[in-house]
Amino acid sequence: MQFSSRAVRRTPPTLATLVLLAGLSALSMNLFLPSLPNMAAYFGADYKVMQLSIALYLLVNAVLQILIGPLADKAGRRPVLLWGIGLFLLATLGCIYAPNVEVFLAFRMCQAVVVVGMVLSRAAVRDMYDQDQAASMIGYVTMGMAVVPMIGPAIGGLLEESFGWKANFWLPFGLGALTLALTFADFGETSAKSGKTLVQQFKEYPELLTSPRFWGYSLSCALSSGTFFAYLGGAPFIGTELFGLSAAQVGIYFGAPAVGYFVGNFLSGRFSVQIGINRMVLWGSLLNALGVALSASLFLTGLGTALSFFSLMTFVGVGNGMAIPNATSGALSVRPHLAATASGLSGAIMLGGGAGLSALAGTLLTRETGAMPLLWLMLTSAVLAIFAIGSVIRRERQLGL
């Protein structure tokens, strides 16, 4: 198969293509979560081993983003996207036909290559727009993407109960094939090749890593989203083990943050240009912390329920929907000529932290501890995000920006 950019038009991709690219990555992350208990039974594995399918996926995601950015700055966005989606399809088939949990986890880690869609859809937006407009467009792209995690677990729960856990991998395989075809037909190259070797591309990482503003934006994004990744690792256990919900019920409840994320992304798309990215990140981080604090307060007073736990996660979603697109745009705009590299590196920081928080959440929770260890972990991450964006605001005041 030859993925040549000369084979199709070179016009920039449509918004629908960017949304689908980002959405496929999100779908692969959480569609199968309601199936985890039954997958553990199928493979004869401990539930905590199956939870590694989340943490390992996020960890490999993080590593790949470090590689994808420089590779796409060197070779262009289009060929990296096409090869990445093709490899994702092969890895998904490996998950479906895995004979044991070890092989499944190996192919599950390979599935993480689909992150090219998330990294390069954002980089393409930054290629085409300036900082504030890019924040607005990233908000719209991820608003569309939010529909996927909002309905993904619910669909996953229904597929699990109707057809078994493998259906939750056949669906992304089919959608991945459609995405590959659409990307081939519509995604014209948005960035000129850098003309540098891959080694030269990697040598530009210090230009980003020595920037306090890049770190501030990246950490505010990572820590704000860290509340959701901790939720990702702990909420299925809380739903099934603490509250006795079925797979379908967990899938429906689980989508609460995505409802908020959709709203937050709409606010980003609508107001980022007028209000500015820093205030949007700050306000989003505050809302994020507020939702977790309210939930923790209810559990501490003995009033916590499944409904209160999941519904208050909507605040987390709204906060993330405001913070992540704007913090991402800020990180990509610190050095605009390194947009894909910055997208990959900031994404690696976010998902590397997310992998750790997701795994930690899974190990902290037992029937005896209840939900509080997860809520304390989420609240700590949310508060640290506020300090991170505060450091950016102070730095820009010092620089007179």
Give the span between the Cα atoms of 204 and 211, in whole angstroms: 12
**Contact between residue 30 and residue 251 where contact means Cβ atoms under 8 Å apart:** no
**Contact between residue 36 and residue 236 where contact means Cβ atoms under 8 Å apart:** yes
pLDDT along the chain (401 residues), means of 10: 43 76 78 80 80 79 79 78 92 91 90 85 70 63 61 78 85 90 79 62 72 89 87 82 79 80 82 85 94 93 89 92 86 72 76 75 78 91 93 84 64
The DSSP call for residue 238 is I
pLDDT at 136: 64
Residues 6+ apart with CB under 8 A from 30: 149, 152, 153, 156, 232, 254
Please indicate, yes or no, if residue 162 is contained in any of the structural domains: yes
pLDDT at 334: 75
Please indicate, yes or no, if residue 19 is contained in any of the structural domains: yes
Please indicate, yes or no, if residue 334 is contained in any of the structural domains: yes
The whole domain housing 71 covers 12-186+206-399
Q: What is the radius of gyration, based on Cα positions, of the chain?
A: 20
pLDDT at 107: 93
Place of tokens 């690792």: 233
Helix (H/G/I), strand (E/B), else coil: 84: helix
Give the span between the Cα atoms of 391 and 56, in whole angstroms: 31
281: Cα within 13 Å, side-chain hemisphere: 33
pLDDT at 14: 74
Q: Dihedral through CA 9, CA 345, CA 26, CA 122, nearest 10?
A: -40
Q: What CATH code is carried by the domain that includes residue 102? A: 1.20.1250.20
pLDDT at 3: 40
Please indicate, yes or no, if residue 199 is contained in any of the structural domains: no
Structural domain count of the chain: 1
Please indicate, yes or no, if residue 195 is contained in any of the structural domains: no
**Contact between residue 116 and residue 68 where contact means Cβ atoms under 8 Å apart:** yes
Please indicate, yes or no, if residue 366 is contained in any of the structural domains: yes
Give the span between the Cα atoms of 340 and 342, in whole angstroms: 5
Please indicate, yes or no, if residue 104 is contained in any of the structural domains: yes
Give the span between the Cα atoms of 195 and 174, in whole angstroms: 36
Residues 6+ apart with CB under 8 A from 162: none
- Whose CA is closest to 66, among 306, 320, 345? 345
Please indicate, yes or no, if residue 4 is contained in any of the structural domains: no
- Whose CA is closest to 351, among 244, 263, 228? 228
- Whose CA is closest to 145, among 7, 261, 243? 261
User: For the chain, what's the residue count?
Assistant: 401
Residues 6+ apart with CB under 8 A from 271: 280
pLDDT at 142: 62
